[in-house]
Amino acid sequence: MTVIRTSNMTKVYSSGNGVWDIDLQVNPGEIFGFLGSNGAGKTTTIRVLLGLLQPSSGQTEVLGANPLSKEGVKRRKEIGYLPGELALYENHTGVELLEFFAESRGNNASYRNQVMEVLSFPRVDLKRKIREYSRGMKQKLGLILALQHKPRVVFMDEPTTGLDPLIQLEVYQLLKDFAAEGGTVFMSSHNLGEVERVCNRVAIIRIGRLVALEEVSELVRRRIYSVEFFMDPPPGEKELAEMGLQDFSTREGIIRGKIWGEPDDFLRQLLKRGQVKDLNWTRGRLEDIFMEYYRGEEGEQ
């Protein structure tokens, strides 16, 4: 059964902002990344999927049910949620909050100990008031709340905000293990390195509309590489363009440019051209590909 499915899902606010015609399908065991700039519509989409907002039109299903239907409300026990702006009951202790949420989901906290261990969350801190927690501790508690009942699907908005790099790596592995056991993760993130590390597929939303829905591996294959090399004599501009080098320039005999996709074919052609006396290239980032979808946005708004 498909875990998340939307068809032409649209939510428009009175301000005219919103999301339009969102078509998504997320499967069991998948870690699905949802990317976009601030205000693009990520949080609105997640809130519709959770049943916190009613869509203006279109179809939405999570775990086989409309989130706002009677059956959809029952399914909420099988859903986890970590909001981007985490607000907790600060006058309660950590354990009080964990128990309260566990009771609301049928006294299920089967995954709590494992998550706490991964996050290096000391049990003694559960007895402290949440108002005494640091930002990182609150984020860890939010992760435990979202996962402690081992939901079938968990929605996460910027899941590693405020966590130190070592704990972030542990969270990535936790999510991979969770998905390997059949759980599904739907996560929005500004950290594209994070998405590249853990997600199977990614959707990119821009000004309320999906502009890409692809395998992360396919996006990675379209990386932009920066290349610089020295040859004597150097290839001409026409020859460089035919070899696939773009945005190139030459200064003091050193040619610099960019290659879209893996550089293997370009390098083979270059070596056939003559002796390369110096060569360096830098692997592009997923951020560069992402920004291609956002180029010119300021002029459109």
* pLDDT tens digits, 203-262: 999 999 999 898 988 877 777 788 999 988 888 899 999 898 989 999 888 999 988 877
CATH number for the domain running over 224-284: 3.30.70.980
How far does the chain reach from its first CA to its final CA, in angstroms? 38
- Report pLDDT for 297: 52
> What pLDDT score was predicted for residue 300?
43
Would you say residue 83 has pLDDT above 60?
Answer: yes
pLDDT for residue 234: 86
The four Cα atoms 250, 255, 261, 264 give a dihedral, to 10 degrees, of 150
Give the Cα separation of 45 and 203 in Å (integer). Answer: 12
- pLDDT bin (cut points 50, 70, 90) of residue 99 is very high
> Is the pLDDT at 41 greater than 90, yes or no?
yes
- Whole-model pTM over 0.75: yes
- What is the pLDDT confidence band of residue 286, given thresholds at 50, 70 and 90? low
Asked if the 4-220 domain carries CATH number 3.40.50.300, the reply is yes
What amino acid occupies position 56?
Answer: S
What would the mean pLDDT of 261-284 be, rounded to a whole number?
84
Q: To the nearest whole number, what is the mean pLDDT of the chain?
A: 90
Spell out the domain ranges in the chain. 4-220, 224-284
pLDDT band at 104 (very low <50, low <70, confident <90, very high): confident
